[in-house]
Amino acid sequence: MVAYSAKEIIACRVAAEMEDGDVVNLGIGLPTLVPNYLQEDIKITLQSENGFLGLAPLSGAPDLDLVNAGGKPAGIFPGGATFDSLMSFALIRGGHVDVTVLGGLQVDQSGNLANWMVPGKMIPGMGGAMDLVAGSKKVIVAMEHTAKDGSAKIIKECNLPLTGKGVVSLIVTELAVIRVTSEGLVLEEISPNVTLEEVIAKTEAQLTISDTLAPMKGISKLDNI
């Protein structure tokens, strides 16, 4: 297998979680790569909390009035819709978003998520993340397994301010796929060329090893792109 970046592996694996017809909200950064790896028969509709349904890749000259939630120029598919923040958050809070994919600073073994504030750093605020993790049917945290200093990001208990309590459904990193259950964190898949011992060593939280532990699915698609 060719060596791919952590972001490529994570985005490709997250794409395998999408089902045809899903309404999906993608956080800024790594999650925006997910559509690049969708199977051809899977069509999703992208929702953006700043008031769009049906966002598309930018094509042609940017329209200054058409940007994603991160403020970057975007396109919109035919039949897409624009609306105000009231309607946008009514969709989110009303449970009409099937999947939210966002990054994380910490996830703990109770499925709590901290992803909006690093103490000592200037921040614009939580944005729509709190509403998205509370209102979406499925919350996928797509993040690198450890911080830049090598410390664990999947820990026993979050010590940063929470974005949501008990909201995470699935954690996808470059090393592993971990499902959040009522009994704790279940390790279901590991990346090729990664050992079980390595995943455990880089995870502070207690992991239950699935009886059907398998290689990370969907990654073979990288070889065909």
What is the per-residue pLDDT for 166? 98
What is the per-residue pLDDT for 124? 72
User: From the DSSP assignment, how many helices (H) and strands (E) are in the chain?
Assistant: 4, 13
What is the per-residue pLDDT for 46? 96
Cα–Cα separations (whole angstroms), residue 69 to 1, 49, 73, 194: 35, 6, 10, 34
The answer as to whether 135 is a domain residue is yes
* 154-155/106-108 β-pairing: parallel
What is the per-residue pLDDT for 224? 63
What is the per-residue pLDDT for 7? 95
Residue 181: burial class (beta carbons within 10 Å; 0-12, 13-18, 19+):
exposed
Give the H or E element holding residue 50.
Answer: none
Q: 208 CB contacts (<8 Å, ≥6 apart)?
A: 183, 184, 185, 186, 187
What is the per-residue pLDDT for 2? 60
Structural domains in the chain (count): 1
Is 219:6 a contact under the CB 8 Å cutoff?
no
pLDDT, tens digit (0-9, with 9 covering 90-100), for 121-164: 877 777 889 999 999 999 999 999 999 999 999 999 999 999 99
| 174: number of Cβ within 10 Å | 20
What is the per-residue pLDDT for 1? 47
CATH of residue 67's domain is 3.40.1080.10
- In this prediction, the residues of the chain whose per-residue pLDDT falls under 50 are 1
The answer as to whether 125 is a domain residue is yes
Residue 216 sits in which domain range? 6-224
Q: Known catalytic residues?
A: 49
C-alpha to C-alpha distance for 50 and 92, rounded to whole angstroms: 11
What is the per-residue pLDDT for 72? 86
The answer as to whether 1 is a domain residue is no
